[in-house]
Amino acid sequence: MATRTPQLRIDKRSAHRWNVTFDHPPLNLIDPDTIRGLLALVGELETDSEVRVVVFDSADPDFFLAHYDITWDPADTISMPADGPTGMHPWLDALARLSSAPVVSIAKVQGRARGAGSEFVLACDMRFASRERAVLAQLEVGLGLVPGGGPMHRLPYLVGRGRALEILLASNDFNGELAERYGYVNRAVPEAEIDEFVDTIADRIASFDKSALAETKHHVDEVTLADYALMPAALDEFWRSVAREGAQRRLGQAIKDGLQSRSEVELDTGHYLAGLDAASSGK
C-alpha cells in the first residue's frame, strides 16, 4: 500500500519496512506542511505493531531536504500548536519522536541536506550517504542565524565537540566521503551501490524481532540522545536571530543571488557563503 501527503510518498507494501520519499518540488524545502506530514507519519510509526524499519529518500536527485523555506512568514511556523507528546514546537516534537520511536529510521542521502534538512538527517538512527552526490551542512551561522532544530545537541554525540563546532560555525559543505570520516554519517557508499546497500541492511533489520529491536534502541538512546528540554531555547534563539538586521541583510542578498531557487547558490552553498558577508555589505 502506498499513501501520500502533500510532500511525502509513503510506501507500506512491506508491513515490516516502510519507504518514505520526500517529493516537494522544486527543492524539497521544509515548511509547515512538511512538519505536519512528518508528525502524522511519526504517529503511525509509534503505534503500528508491524513496522520495524523506515527508509527516507528523495525524489529529487540533487536535494534530499534543502533547508527550511525562508519565504514563509515565520509566524506561520512559530504559531504551530505545541500539542504533541513532548510539549515542544512541532518541528522539535517530530524530530525527537522520530529518534525515540520503536522503529529504526534510516536516511539515504543522495543530494543536499542542509540546515533543517541536516537536522532531520541527524534525527534519524542511521545515515548512509552517496559518496559522489551527498552534501550535508548546517548553513545557519553563515547566514547570521542560530540553528534551531537541535544540531548543537546531536552532533557532539556523533562527531565530538571540536568537529561539531567546525560543522556548525564554519557553515561549510561536507561531501559524503568527508561526512563519513567525521562521523556525520554512518557510511559513504558509491552512488552505484547505495540502493542495494541500504535495501540489504534495511531488509536484514526488518527481518528481526520488533521487540528486540525497539528495546535495544531504547537503551542506546538512554546514553546517546541529549535531554530534549535543552532544545526549545535554541529554536527560540533561531527565530530571534531571523529578525536581526545582520541576518536579514544576508538572507536578502542570498535570495537575490539565488537562494531558494535551483541555482549555483543552492548547489554550492558552502562556497557561496564564504563571500556573502562582503556581498551583503556592498564591499
> According to the model, what pLDDT value does residue 185 have?
98
| Nearest-10 Cα torsion for 102, 108, 112, 115 | 10
Residue that has been written with the C-alpha cell 534519524 in this structure: 124
pLDDT band at residue 172 using 50, 70 and 90 as cut-offs: very high
Which tens digit of pLDDT belongs to each residue from 103-157?
Answer: 999 999 999 999 999 999 999 999 999 999 999 999 999 999 999 999 999 999 9
Over residues 32-43, mean pLDDT:
97
- What pTM was estimated for this model as a whole? 0.96
Over residues 176-196, mean pLDDT:
98
Contact between 164 and 139 under an 8 Å Cβ cutoff? The reply is: no
pLDDT band at residue 3 using 50, 70 and 90 as cut-offs: low
Which tens digit of pLDDT belongs to each residue from 50-105?
Answer: 999 999 999 999 999 999 999 888 899 999 999 999 999 999 999 999 999 999 99
Among 180-189, 207-216, 234-243, 273-282, where is mean pLDDT lowest?
Answer: 273-282
Nearest CA-CA partner of 124 in 106, 112, 151? 106
> According to the model, what pLDDT value does residue 277 have?
81
pLDDT band at residue 280 using 50, 70 and 90 as cut-offs: confident
Determine how many CB atoms are found less than 10 A away from the CB of residue 200: 11
Residue 1 has pLDDT above 80, yes or no: no
Contact between 67 and 116 under an 8 Å Cβ cutoff? The reply is: yes
Over residues 225-234, mean pLDDT:
96
> According to the model, what pLDDT value does residue 2 have?
55
Percent of the chain with pLDDT over 70: 97
Over residues 198-218, mean pLDDT:
98
Whether a cis peptide bond, with omega within 30° of 0, leads into 26 is yes
Mean pLDDT of the chain: 96
